[in-house]
């Protein structure tokens, strides 16, 4: 089983997009990316705009091989809508044509995600070859066994940001488990799914260290480290990959337990980390955009 990271903060965009090739059966997990509308009071820098264009190019190329698309939830950095957005680098393209889509059920999420999920299904379902609300379901695809988690909180229990679903792909005894946006994790339900699936490779959303002291407390931070240690000690994955919210700070290494053996997306590709959002202020100081650049954002509504 081969994994190829397509987008993520260490690759310059908000994303956890991943290509999984199970000996010719190709899955694209969370086919989306976005740029923070504002960071340090500034809109995306031109270098970030170029990064999301590059992401789109790589995603569309990978989709030529893909049969399955998995959507864990309806935050804009995890799916591709059918409308134009400067923040998502989209031009209104439809990536779901003739794809089998395993999607989060939008009927048990928060209101904003429910609207996005409903509109995505309405616009794209008729073009796909299948559209399945996958929460808690299992599938057999040849010699591949796919298991999807029950809803897991997007962060803490009771989080206002709703729920996600994780996915496990097993082929010939090798297991990949992908649990995005669990922010550490901060929920025992994420730990439970990892234990159930016993992955050789575990990909998990890290703690939002950049929001420590704002949206998250020291207590939350300690819980995230405790639960991550529990996952590692109980599951013992051969490869642990931590991603996403953690990499929105240049000090992200402070957001994980000391001595932990893990990788990040850029490392999987053999690249240096490219934390464009975390360095947006620095980008503006070192590479001042033309006045024309700012006009780009007046045409669009800010997005999450």
Task: Give the CATH number for residue 134.
Answer: 3.60.15.10
Pairing of strands 2-5, 18-22: antiparallel
Pairing of strands 130-133, 163-164: unpaired
302 part of a folded domain: no
301 part of a folded domain: no
Which single residue is written with the structure tokens 């008729």?
A: 126
CB 198 within 8 A of CB 175: yes
Note the pLDDT of residue 55: 98
Number of domains the chain contains: 1
Below-70 pLDDT ranges, the chain: 299-304
300 part of a folded domain: no
Note the pLDDT of residue 299: 57
Rounded Cα distance, 19 and 291, in Å = 37
CB 105 within 8 A of CB 135: yes
299 part of a folded domain: no
Note the pLDDT of residue 289: 94
CA 68, chain centre distance (Å): 16
Structure tokens at 169: 């792909």
Q: What is the dihedral of CA 107, 108, 110, 114, to 10 degrees?
A: -20
121 part of a folded domain: yes
Note the pLDDT of residue 160: 84
Show Cβ contacts of residue 254 under 8 Å, excluding neighbours closer than 6 positions. Answer: 209
Rounded Cα distance, 71 and 115, in Å = 15
pTM of the model: 0.96
What is the secondary structure of 255-282 as a DSSP string? GS-TT---B-HHHHTT-----TTTTHHH
> Cβ–Cβ contacts within 10 Å for residue 85, how many?
18
Note the pLDDT of residue 158: 85
Which long-range contacts does 121-127 make (Cβ < 8 Å, 24+ apart)? 123/81, 123/82, 123/94, 124/82, 124/94, 124/96, 125/96, 125/101, 127/94, 127/96, 127/97, 127/98
298 part of a folded domain: no
303 part of a folded domain: no
| Interval 83-126: pLDDT, tens | 999 999 999 999 999 999 999 999 988 899 999 999 999 999 99
Note the pLDDT of residue 244: 98
Distance in angstroms between the alpha carbons of the first and the last residue of the chain: 33
Structural domain span for residue 235? 2-293
Q: Edge-to-edge strands of the sheet including 25-29?
A: 2-5, 18-22, 25-29, 68-71, 100-103, 130-133
Note the pLDDT of residue 108: 86
In the beta sheet, which residues pair with residue 240?
202
CB 237 within 8 A of CB 200: yes
Note the pLDDT of residue 161: 86
């Amino acid at each position: 089983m081969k994994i190829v990271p397509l987008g993520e903060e260490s690759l310059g965009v908000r994303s956890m997009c991943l290509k999984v090739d199970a000996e010719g059966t190709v899955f694209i997990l969370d086919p989306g990316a976005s740029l923070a509308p504002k960071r340090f009071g500034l809109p995306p820098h031109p270098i970030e705009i170029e990064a999301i264009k590059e992401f789109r190019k790589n995603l569309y190329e990978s989709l030529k091989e893909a049969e399955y698309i998995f959507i864990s939830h309806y935050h804009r950095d995890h799916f591709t809508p059918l409308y134009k957005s400067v923040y998502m680098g989209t031009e209104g393209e439809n990536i779901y044509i003739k794809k089998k889509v395993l999607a989060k059920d939008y009927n048990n999420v928060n209101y904003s995600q429910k609207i996005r999920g409903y509109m995505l299904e309405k616009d794209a379902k008729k073009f796909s070859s299948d559209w399945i609300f996958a929460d808690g379901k299992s599938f057999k695809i040849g010699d591949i066994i796919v298991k999807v988690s029950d809803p897991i909180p997007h962060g803490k229990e009771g989080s206002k940001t709703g729920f996600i679903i994780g996915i496990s792909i097993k082929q010939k005894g090798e297991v990949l488990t992908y649990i995005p946006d669990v922010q550490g994790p901060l929920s025992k339900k994420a730990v439970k799914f990892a234990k159930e699936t016993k992955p050789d490779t575990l990909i998990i959303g890290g703690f939002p260290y950049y929001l420590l002291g704002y949206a998250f407390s020291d207590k939350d931070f300690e819980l995230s480290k405790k639960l991550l240690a529990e996952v590692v000690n109980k599951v013992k994955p051969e490869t642990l990959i931590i991603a996403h919210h953690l990499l929105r700070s240049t000090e992200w290494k402070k957001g994980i337990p000391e001595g932990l053996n893990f990788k990040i997306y850029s490392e999987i590709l053999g690249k240096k980390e490219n934390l464009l959002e975390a360095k947006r202020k620095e980008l503006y100081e070192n590479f001042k955009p033309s006045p024309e650049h700012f006009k780009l954002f007046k045409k669009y509504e800010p997005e999450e």
